[in-house]
Structure 1
């Protein structure tokens, strides 16, 4: 595929660019974030005098995107998006005028591909990568279903290009260039990312996307990314990070918590050896320990991560968020409050969420606990709606949830939320974490039982519009604790209580579809597959316009995939 049109010099430039970009990534992984960006800028300026380098601009934009994905900072997201758009324009200039799609059609009709230079074929994969990474930023900003459809249609060109490049490199007459491993790694990254992401989407969205030519196979996606992660290529790091994100975050936040932690540990191990102080890898090491239920070790890792670098303070915020949850699992409310307070002062991702969590933790303090000077949960809860922000014109789902929950504090005589941090913990699937530790689960059950007793005392006396909603919430969370303690009958009773009281729920409509989901997962756990599928279909088809609906639909889809992979009678 390498015709000679000055191709020797171009191939040499390509090899040199890739080598320099790998050096920049090495700096980045050693916590030298600004040095890596300055190195790329300097090299890019030097090259630009004769010819721009697609890999330099792509690497620069990719580092900014990794920063945005780790910090969730709105300005980081905007900066990364602008840089990625610029990188896409540079890659476009290196592409052959007849696109790879046209060339692939020629292949089908028996024509040769030898009119492509190696530089041109790399331009195709870099261009597709820019589109893919821009789509990932859209995903970061909003979980809304409509955004997935819009984003899906926008990146159709990227998806098709990856499919065609994947088929191209498998052709018998395809000649591998000197930098083939980097090209191949790019194809594996794109094909793997698309297949994995599409396989996670709720059925109704996937059907719309399939209509315009998309399809996803989870196993194939994971295999492609695993192969890309072990190759010594420019994209190996991105394949690794995507797999780590999937196994430790996406499978929890947008799934039922069935990530492969052993696989994540294997992927992480060589990077921890090579970069023992690498903040990115210390963070994932902390998250892995957290998921395993080793909360004290997780706290130690996140603290090490904060100490490892001081350049990107926003990166500390990721650790603060996880530390906040670790102390929530341990029910150490003062420490959890401390990190929520730090986030509210330092992070610009979601002031509304952070202030809500501050108030939530204050509400859990005992009567004799000293509260921080001047802090009062009612005042904080009342502040939350005014702190709402939009990122790229979209409101954050978590903020919307927090604002809905604070409506009862706007009245002159507010009705307190019973266990607000434990409810938000459910939204982030934290019960799947404490479920690994019997002591933590039993302690959580005691707290929930105490809250239930307090609510029971309100019946008939000062009963409010929120009472049945609160009782159903406590039942849902108690059911999860019973499930992880293997008290199956009690868990089933709790989950069934919520749909049985559906008509009495006035505000927290999200509780019913989530109770059906949790009951279905319980039934899958004890082998009642057919009943589980019916419950999941009910939750998917018959409920809409409730809090965190998109997240619930992702979890339903994950549960359905699990159910349908189990043979009948098992």
Structure 2
């Protein structure tokens, strides 16, 4: 860039006008995207990806979203190369010493680093590339942190584009604080020593403010918050759906047929137990657009669970089958769920497409994959559970669909629907009778403990339940060691609901410290951390009130 620009007021004005024009055009492109015009959105951005930092960033971001949904190697590579090219465009903007343009270039660069790290974790399986991704994350965080301090100072110029700049910084700082706050205290302390911080409430406040504003990152902030409120907090067992509903309202008004927002609207209804309404919204989400079939897969996954809650095993199988044919995200999980649903049908009942659940269970391990160098915990769990079908005379899993439903905290979805809980309890009790009438086998204690845990969760949905039965035989468990710490978590949650916080803390700490190296341990540890944080916050609030 010509050094004379440093003192040329007309050139400064021109660049600032160009920046504002770029922001306006990118907002229009995002508007197209949210109205399901995905290809038109890319076409609007493409002509300026080599000279405008925001066109380059948003174009690369859309391609990354596509890559994450398709999970195709070519799409991931293409998105990574495009994001790298976007960073090269940013360098040309960065070296212009005009403060406003440089600040925008820096926040875009931090965002590129973060997204490139995500693609690295998604694509590469070796530890060297995993470390490289970690370095990108740290570099991104340091840039966001420096920019956040800067815009708080009086030295920051606040022009027409400041709203977009502030939105970008709020997205980065908010995302880091929210994500890091979810880690267990020991790991969080280590990360804080390395310079990171994890303040959940602060992160949520930054993201909420940006999501409700009219800036280029509003969509990203809104999507992150919706994922947090409708997925993460629900899986952790601490969430409510009120915040998600409030966040969705303006987007649903502005984009009534937007596939993304139809999906999250369906998810909120599902969480409230309005399963039929959720099904209708997920189906509308599939009908809303045909350009990106990958959006359909998100809906198929939720439709699969909706029909699980209704105990419509054939319809649940249908969506698991669609996913196994069309989606690359987790074929091992999809095939496992197909087999699980078939095994829930009476033995004498015909199977769709004449498929055999035993053969399907035996195929699960052939579809395992690695993300960030490791197999996803849910796939490892499915592969381990399917292993018993490798035997010439396999011992059936008692209720595999309900066991996986528990791992995704699906029983919380039906706690407001007594008739659905009652149906689940009947299925569990039927499995218990079948187990009692079956010949003795090596899995009998584990299967009984699973049934007791699921029965306890169903009873908890109906009111306070005592799950101590599970512990009287826990020392005899041979394979499913995850059951006992999870039963302790459920007891802890019951104590929280009953207001017996000291008992809750004692039980939760036992679950945290007394059991290691079991299936899905990370997920259970996150649940424990979330529950402890919840009960400690309630205690602190009560103490403040009394003061």
- Superposition TM-score tier, normalisation by shorter sequence: over 0.9
Q: Do 1:139 and 1:148's aligned partners in 2 also have CA atoms closer than 8 Å?
A: yes
Alignment of 1:318-467 (within 5 A): 318-458=298-438, 462-467=439-444
TM-score of the aligned structures, taking structure 1 as reference length: 0.88
Cα separation, 2, equivalents of 1:533 and 1:137: 38
CA distance in 2 between counterparts of 1:214 and 1:186 reads 18
Deviation at 1:66, TM superposition (A): 2.9
Q: Would you say the 8 A contact 2:60–2:83 is kept in 1?
A: yes
Residue in 2 that maps onto 1:482: 459
1:176 and 2:158 aligned: yes
State whether residues 196 and 217 of structure 1, in contact with CA within 8 Å, keep that contact through their aligned partners in structure 2.
yes
Equivalent residues, number = 534
Would you say 1:510 and 2:472 are equivalent positions? no
Instruction: Say if 2:113 is the partner of 1:131.
Output: yes
Query: Using a 3 Å threshold, how does the CA distance of structure 1 residues 477 and 321 change in structure 2: closer, same or farther?
Result: same
Unaligned stretches of 5+ residues in structure 1: 98-114
Q: What does residue 90 of structure 2 align with?
A: 91
Partners in 1 of 2:244 and 2:437 — Cα distance? 47
Indicate conservation of the 8 Å contact 2:238/2:531, yes or no. Answer: no
3-state secondary structure, aligned to 2:152 = coil
Aligned to 1:303: 283
Residue of structure 2 equivalent to 1:106 = none
How far apart are 1:297 and its partner, in Å? 0.3
Please give the root-mean-square deviation of Cα atoms over the aligned residues, in Å: 2.4
Cα pair 1:389 1:395 within 8 Å, conserved:
yes
Q: CA deviation at 1:532?
A: 1.5
Counterpart residue number, 1:19: 24
Q: Residue 96 and residue 549 in structure 1: after superposition, are their counterparts in 2 closer, same or farther (change >3 A)? A: farther
Contact 2:130–2:372 (Cα < 8 Å) also in 1: no
The structure-2 alpha-carbon separation of the partners of 1:278 and 1:197, relative to structure 1 and needing over 3 Å to count, comes to same
Matched, 1:118 2:100: yes
C-alpha displacement of 1:150: 8.0
| Counterparts of 1:149 and 1:504, CA distance in 2 | 41
- TM normalised by structure 2 equals 0.92
Q: Tell me the equivalent position of 2:513.
A: 541
Stretch moving more, 434-443 or 362-371: 362-371
Matched residue, 2:293: 313
Name the CA distance, whole Å, in 2 between partners of 1:148 and 1:476: 37
In structure 2, the residue matched to 1:57 is: 56
Greater Cα shift, 310-319 or 73-82: 73-82
Contact 2:121 2:372 in 1 (8 A): no
CA-to-aligned-CA distance 1:313-344 (integer Å, 9 cap, x gap): 12111111100000000000010011111111
SS of residue matched to 1:169: helix
Task: Give the C-alpha shift of residue 355 in structure 1.
Answer: 0.9
- Indicate the SS of the match to 2:352: coil
Once residues 512 and 537 of structure 2 are traced to their aligned partners in structure 1, the CA distance between those partners, rounded to angstroms, is: 18
1:473 alignment partner in structure 2:
450
Contact 1:71 1:317 (C-alpha < 8 Å) held by counterparts? no
Structure 1 residue 76 displacement after superposition? 4.5
Report the CA distance between 1:538 and its aligned residue. 2.1
1:7 and 2:6 are equivalent in the alignment:
no
Give unmatched runs, 5+ long, in structure 2.
none
Secondary structure of the residue that 2:158 maps to in structure 1? coil
Cα distance between partner residues in 2 of 1:470 and 1:562? 31
Kindly provide the CA deviation profile for residues 421-462 of structure 1, in whole angstroms up to 9, marking residues without a partner as x: 00010111101101121111111111111111111223xxx2
Deviation at 1:393, TM superposition (A): 3.6
Task: Tell me how far apart the structure 1 counterparts of residues 133 and 502 of structure 2 sit (CA, whole Å).
Answer: 34
1:241 maps onto 2:242 in alignment? no
- The answer to whether the Cα contact below 8 Å between 1:152 and 1:209 also exists between their aligned partners in 2 is no
State how far apart, in whole Å, the 1-side matches of 2:284 and 2:34 are: 15
Match of 2:37 among 20, 24, 32: 32
Query: Is the CA contact 2:116–2:133 (under 8 Å) kept in the aligned structure 1?
Result: no
Q: What displacement does 1:93 show?
A: 4.0
| TM-superposed deviation, 1:551 | 1.2
Contact in 2 for aligned 1:523/1:532 (Cα 8 Å): yes
Q: Which residue of 2 aligns with 1:497?
A: 469
2:523 aligns with one of 537, 547, 551: 551
Give the Cα separation in 1 of the matches to 2:206 and 2:174.
5
